[in-house]
Amino acid sequence: MSINAAPTGAEAAVEKTGQRATVPTQRGGRRKPPLSENKKAERKLGLLLCAPAALVMVLVTAYPIIYSFWLSLQRYDLRFPDQREFIGLENYVTVLSNEFWWTAFGVTTLITVVTVAVELVLGMGLAIIMHRTLVGRGLVRTSALIPYGIVTVVAAFSWRYAWTPGTGYLADLFSDGAPLTERASALAIIMLAEIWKTTPFMALLLMAGLALVPEDLLKAASTDGATAWQKFTKVMLPVMKPAILVALLFRTLDAFRVFDNIFVLTAGGNETSSVSMLAYNNLLRGLNLGIGSTMSVLIFLTVAIIAFVFVKLFGTAAPGSDDGERR
């Protein structure tokens, strides 16, 4: 029974980080150094209003996080339950000096950077198209969102069949080998599947940002002599910056936890494992709760660092903090 509890707990811990990160994010954006009495009272009220939600979250997330951390400090392999023992940070040394971990870490980082970058560009294009279309707007938006509506595992299976030699239409079209069995092409296919799946989500977030750009601002830029490109880079992007950062934050956190596509497409073969795959393999396949939990905690830390960096970016560079006062 406890076998299941640990991994779900660990996963939940990672899961929650993504959500928690948004809370300080928003607060960070509005932070103003000197607080008047009035502002203090307002802030107190704000904290009180947040308290119930925060409390529930602590209850739900704190236990699994603490429990995984506790597990990560032990030698605890379910195949050898007798050898269970407190060993301090030894698991961390083991993991961090392990080349599989670093390979997986590299793969995950690569997937994160490439997919998020491509998704940002494609998502922006899609968002603009969805925002601008006048005829058949509903149809355009709905069809653009279809990939996002499909369950990831289902989509992953259809990609797998498509790339399987003999039966798949894509495999026959693009290569004569088995692309999912070669590392480079397998990674490319994983990234393709990720991008196909989550670009609509990116587009949706960016479209909300586009709606923030007042029509008059673009008109003003037109009469001021801006070309379409200058309007985009000099007016739209700066105004959208907070929305872009939010979209990037969400997607980066999500992308770093990539699992389903890899699980279905390659099962981590040929060094295509992500860190989440590796943790899963150690926890559930290897039944090594100590090492698996250590990996979960490390993923948690990485995700926390990513969130922290984004929050810093918000704090310094959001023109929204200027805009915000006009609410």
Partner 1 sequence: MADIVLDKVSKSFPDGTVAVQDVDLEIADGEFVILVGPSGCGKSTTLNMIAGLEDISSGELRIGGQRVNDKAPRDRDIAMVFQSYALYPNMTVRENMAFPLRLAKLDKETIDQKVDEAAKVLELVPLLDRKPANLSGGQRQRVAMGRAIVRQPKAFLMDEPLSNLDAKLRVQMRTVVSRLQKKLGTTTVYVTHDQTEAMTLGDRVVIMRGGAVQQVGAPQELYDHPRNLFVAGFIGSPSMNFLHAAVQDGGLHTALGDVPLGDRVRRELEAADAPRELILGIRPEHFEDAELVDEDTRRRGIEFEAPVDIVESMGSDKYVYFTVEGERASAAELEELAADAGAADFAGAGGNLVTRLSAESPVVEGQSRRVWFNLEKIHLFDPTNGRNLTLHEGRAAGALAD
**Interface mask toward partner 1 for 162-201; x: CB under 8 A:** ----------------------------------------
Beta-bridge partners for 58: none
Stretch in the footprint of partner 1 (CB under 8 A) among 58-66, 295-303, 308-316, 317-325: 317-325
CB atoms within 10 A of CB 300: 18
Q: Which of 227, 256, 259, 297 binds partner 1 (CB under 8 A)?
A: 227
For 223-279, the three-class secondary structure string (H helix, E strand, C coil) is HHCCCHHHHHHHHHHHHHHHHHHHHHHHHHHHHHCCCHHHHHHCCCCCCCCCHHHHH
Q: Does 222 bind partner 1 (CB under 8 A)?
A: yes
Q: Would you give the DSSP letter of residue 74?
A: E
Q: Does 211 bind partner 1 (CB under 8 A)?
A: no
Q: For the CB of residue 227, give the shortest distance to partner 1 in the complex, in Å.
A: 7
**Interface mask toward partner 1 for 95-134; x: CB under 8 A:** ---------------------------------------x
Q: Does 238 bind partner 1 (CB under 8 A)?
A: yes
CB atoms within 10 A of CB 147: 17
Tell me the residue type at 21.
A
Looking at the Cβ atoms of 222 and 270, the one nearer to partner 1 is 222
Q: Does 239 bind partner 1 (CB under 8 A)?
A: yes
Q: Of 204, 215, 270, whose CA–CA distance to 239 is shortest?
A: 215
Rounded distance between C-alpha atoms, residue 43 and residue 37, angstroms: 10
Q: Does 219 bind partner 1 (CB under 8 A)?
A: yes
Q: Does 226 bind partner 1 (CB under 8 A)?
A: yes
* Residue count (the chain): 327
The contact set with partner 1 (CB under 8 A) reads: 134, 214, 216-217, 219-227, 230, 234-235, 238-239, 241, 319, 322-326
